[in-house]
Amino acid sequence: MVCSFCQKNECEGYLKWYCSECSRLKRLLNLHGDRVYEILDNVLLRTEDKQNNKIKVEIKKEVKEQEKKLELNLNESCELYENNNNKQLLTELKQRINKKK
Ligand SMILES: [Zn+2]
């Protein structure tokens, strides 16, 4: 039976609606939700030469978000140490953060 999504490949198996590639897409969609549509809109609805730039921008954005999260976690850790009166450890942590900047 032909895949009911791409209408091109054979279904994964008996009693399956999708081929292996479309099943993979479905799993990604279930995992990442609206983010998948966002990426498809932002990346694929562009001319090919603009696509590579957009991909780079998207990756940079993702890295920035991760860095921000990391910094927040570090700041929270600092507060935790401060509350525990562990001044020396706090100073070391702050020095490490400043070195990274
Ligand atoms: Zn398919």
Per-residue pLDDT of the chain (101 residues; tens, 9 = 90+): 999 999 999 998 888 899 999 999 999 999 999 989 888 888 887 777 787 888 888 889 999 999 998 888 888 877 777 777 667 777 777 888 888 76
Distance 62 CA to ligand 1 centre (A): 29
| CA atoms of 33 and 31, how far apart (whole Å) | 6
Q: If you measure from the C-alpha of residue 23 to the centroid of ligand 1, how many angstroms do you get, rounded to a whole number?
A: 7
Ligand 1 centroid–CA 18 distance in Å is: 5
- pLDDT at 19 (0 to 100): 95
C-alpha span between 62 and 32 (Å, rounded)? 14
Q: Give 15 Cα–ligand 1 centroid separation in angstroms.
A: 14
Nearest in space to 43 (alpha carbons), one of 30, 33, 52: 52
Q: Would you state the pLDDT for residue 101?
A: 66
pLDDT at 85: 63
Residue with tokens 């081929």: 19
Tell me, in angstroms, the distance from the centre of ligand 1 to residue 90's CA. Answer: 54
C-alpha 25 – ligand 1 centre gap (Å): 9
Which pLDDT value is given to residue 42?
A: 81
Determine if the pTM surpasses 0.75: no
1 contacts: CB under 8 Å, gap ≥ 6: 10, 11
- Find the 2 Cα to ligand 1 centroid distance in Å: 8
* Residue 17 contacts residue 26 (beta carbons within 8 Å): no
